Structure 1
Amino acid sequence: MQISIVIPLLNEQESIPELYRWITSVMKTNQYSYEVIFIDDGSSDSSWQEIQNIVAKDEHIKAIQFLKNYGKSQALHAGFEMVQGEVIITMDADLQDNPEEIPELFELIKNENFDIISGWKKKRYDDVLTKNIPSKLFNAAARKVSGVKLHDFNCGLKAYKKEVVKNIDVYGEMHRYIPLLAKNAGFSKIDEKVVKHQARKYGSTKFGAERFVHGFLDLISIWFLSKFGKRPMHLFGAWGVIMFAIGFITAIWVGASKLYKLWHHIPDILVTQNPWFYIALTVMVLGTLLFIAGFLGELILRTQKNPQRYKISKILK
């Protein structure tokens, strides 16, 4: 099989039939061997009924239904588990991603040997104040922190080698940072392509302004995990030892100063009245706690089992 198209969705009943016809037209025109996997992330409208109708008449279409809304990252993870194609295309179901881009994305992965091609919606039809400007600021920060030089991390239209999606774990809200997850996993051939962006035709967006706040927090998390996720003792243990050493040296200095003054009969305050005594004690305690945090992190890392992050109601193949 050449292409697998993964489409996570939430309450997109009006868009699904039109998107299906559009994708089918592109696939048949280019004579691709393909599958389309819809992941219904707990829709409360008739999205699942629309998908069932399509699956019943087209063997190329598969579908997964979640018991409730778990988020886009979990939907992509479930889709990636099912895919069989050599090249994986992800796109949103709201008709803002153009299926006509698929052939060129496929060629870039298949023939140019890229690991990931990320879509770049250079010309957008979203609200400038609530989406365009915050998106530009978010993407600038993501490029700076991650080192992945993409202009549009949030674009849902991306293409991957099969090996990429089978070797990364998309969890939490990390769907924005799949290129960074792939980079950390050893896939370095990442590039972008300018893609067409359509204004939303039906319904309303499922993402509010809070997605940018969550995005920045997720960026910090993934940066930290990429550096210290496998060896938390390298961060917490190192800082714990340094702080304990500083506190211990300070305590020795306080004690030595007290003994010197006693030896030379110099009047002095009690040790417990010396603020440096409490500073040294506090720093030593903090250092010990950091060291313990690193040690516990190492224990958790070695004993953890990946929990099931979502529950599937139905699978249609």
Structure 2
Amino acid sequence: MAVLKVPNCAQCVVPITNGPAKASNFRSPFPVSFERLSQPIEDGATYEVELSLVVPVMNEEESLGPLIDRICDAMKGFDKSWELILIDDGSTDRTLSYARSYLDREGLDLRIVEFQRNFGKASGLQAGFDASRGRLIATLDGDLQNDPYDIPSMVAELNARDLDLLCGWRKARQDALVLRKIPSWCANYLIGSATGVKIHDNGCGLKLYRSAVIKQVRILGGMHRFIPAWVASVVPSSRIGEVVVTHHARQFGESKYGISRTIRVFLDLLSVLFFMRFKQRPGHFFGTIGLIIGAISSLILLYLFWVKFGLGESIGTRPLLLIGVMLFLTSIQMITTGILAEMLTRSSDTQKNYVVRKTYQKDA
């Protein structure tokens, strides 16, 4: 596969697959209800701006000012309309007040979404997706480790390669080896092996999406680490790419990630495998288990029925009777759980996983 060179591209482009991308070659391990498309998803909507920049922040008072300055400087060469959406995820310092001081900045289309409390990064991203007005949506972290100067070249790259999602790859990552890099390598390998989406850096906050695609996906708690896998449930993996981006060492504060969150990644991966396979019909998962257990219990009880009434033997003290009854009750419980899961799935599709206290924007 030839490497496509884009003017001013920050680094090299890394293809996901070798050879021409063909949607028919894609075989996801997850049966999903979406129709996979070989062409970009365009919903025919009229977008108010070309690009929305979404930045979730929490207690980033020291880095917020330099971040906004860098974003404004980086976007000077972007010849189309754009907006900046800051999600204040329950900050307890002066992050919100600092952000509001930029509302009247000339040439900056800024909106601030204040959460009622801390809901986590996944909810922050989801709120940004919900509030965005752009045809494209870029996300980056608020700690200055992602470089906003990569965004214009990523936009050109996504359009040139006709992708729906372009992920940043922190190839020269400026983080601790033991606590961050090694767990990240392990997690990315497991995610790629389990989901079939081969991305070097699932955890990079710098990503670029087509709005029509990402708005079909709901990002639940902790699932922001698996966004490429979720997007692959909507479009073929051939429409997901990655590009090497700049990564800076953290300048202010302390990282909110540690070994405990690394452990959560592996636990969340199990949830991803379940939800991507059974999210649309969880009753199939529980119902299948219930029917298998029910079939076993039925065979046991039928055998005991024949022993009792066919052979005339007593079965009241046989352990097999207790096993058969317990398996029968378990099968009923599993089927009932599946029905409840179906009801919860249908009731939660439209529920938001965050609560907004207030939204700030420039006075008209």
For 1:56, what is the secondary structure of its paired residue?
Answer: coil
Contact 1:87 1:109 in 2 (8 A): no
Per the alignment, in what secondary structure is the counterpart of residue 86 of structure 1?
strand
**Take 1:114 and 1:305, find their aligned partners in 2: how far apart are those partners?**
27
Q: What displacement does 1:190 show?
A: 0.7
Which residue identity is paired with 1:316?
Y
Q: Are 2:57 and 1:9 aligned?
A: yes
Tell me: CA distance 1:293–1:316, structure 2 relative to 1, closer, same or farther (3 Å): same
1:183-213 CA deviation, whole Å, 9 max, x = no partner?
2133641111111111001111122222222
Contact 2:53–2:84 (8 Å) recurs in 1: yes
Instruction: Say which of 67, 71, 86 aligns to 1:19.
Output: 67
Partner in structure 1 of residue 333 of structure 2: 289
Task: Determine if the alignment matches structure 1 residue 219 to structure 2 residue 269.
Answer: yes
CA distance in 2, matches of 1:233, 1:309: 23
The answer to whether the Cα contact below 8 Å between 1:167 and 1:185 also exists between their aligned partners in 2 is: yes
Counterpart CA distance in 2 for 1:312 and 1:261 is: 70
2:39 maps to which residue? none
Q: What letter is aligned with 2:129?
A: F
Give the Å deviation of 1:152. Answer: 1.1
Give the aligned residue type for 2:260: E
Q: CA deviation at 1:11?
A: 0.9
Tell me which residue corresponds to 2:353: 309
Match for 1:41 among 89, 104, 119?
A: 89
- Distance in 2 of aligned mates of 1:166 and 1:259: 62
Query: Which residue of structure 2 aligns with residue 93 of structure 1?
Result: 142
What is the deviation of 1:131? 1.0
- 1:135 and 2:171 are equivalent in the alignment: no
Task: Provide the rounded CA distance (Å) in 1 between the counterparts of 2:162 and 2:120.
Answer: 31
Give secondary structure in 2 for the equivalent of 1:192. strand
Q: Which moved more, 1:218-227 or 1:149-158?
A: 218-227
TM-score w.r.t. length of structure 2 = 0.80
Return the letter of the residue paired with 1:242. I
Question: SS of 1:184's equivalent?
Answer: coil
* 1:162-203 residue CA offsets vs partner (Å, 9 max, x unmatched): 112322212222111222222213364111111111100111
Question: Does residue 82 of the first structure (1) align with residue 131 of the second (2)?
Answer: yes
If you compute each CA radius of gyration, which structure gives the higher value, 1 or 2? 1
The corresponding residue for 1:265 is: none
Q: Per-residue CA shift, 1:118-140, capped at 9, x if unaligned?
A: 11112212111111111111111
Matched residue type, 2:343 = L
Tell me the equivalent position of 1:66: 115
* Structure 2: runs of 5+ lacking an equivalent: 1-48
Instruction: Say which of 148, 154, 157 aligns to 1:108.
Output: 157
Aligned mates of 2:347, 2:184 — CA distance in 1: 38
Q: TM-score, normalised by structure 1?
A: 0.91
Rate the CA distance shift 1:296–1:121 in 2: closer, same or farther, 3 A.
same
1:210 correspondence with 2:264: no
Q: CA deviation at 1:303?
A: 4.6
Percent of aligned pairs with the same residue? 33
Offset of residue 158 of structure 1: 0.4
Alpha carbons 1:115, 1:187 under 8 Å: kept: no
CA contact (8 A) 2:307 2:315 kept: no
* Deviation (angstroms), 1:43: 1.0
The one-letter amino acid paired with 1:199 is A
Rounded to whole Å, the distance in 1 between the matches of 2:139 and 2:350 is: 24
How far is 1:258 from its partner? 4.4
Flag the structure with more relative contact order, 1 or 2, with Cα contacts below 8 A and sequence separation at least 6: 2
Larger relative helix fraction: 1
Gaps of 5+ in 1: 263-267
Partner Cα distance (1:313, 1:299) in 2: 29
Partner-residue secondary structure (3-state), 1:63: strand
- Report if aligned partners of 2:136, 2:211 keep a CA contact under 8 Å in 1: yes
- Name whichever of 227-236 and 9-18 sits farther off: 227-236
Q: Distance in 1 between the 2:129 and 2:225 partners? A: 15
CA contact (8 A) 1:6 1:76 kept: yes
Q: How many residues get paired?
A: 311
Which residue is 1:254 aligned to? 304
Per-residue deviation, 1:67: 2.1
Which residue of structure 2 aligns with residue 298 of structure 1? Answer: 342
Name 2:248's counterpart in structure 1: 198
SS in 1 for 2:171: coil
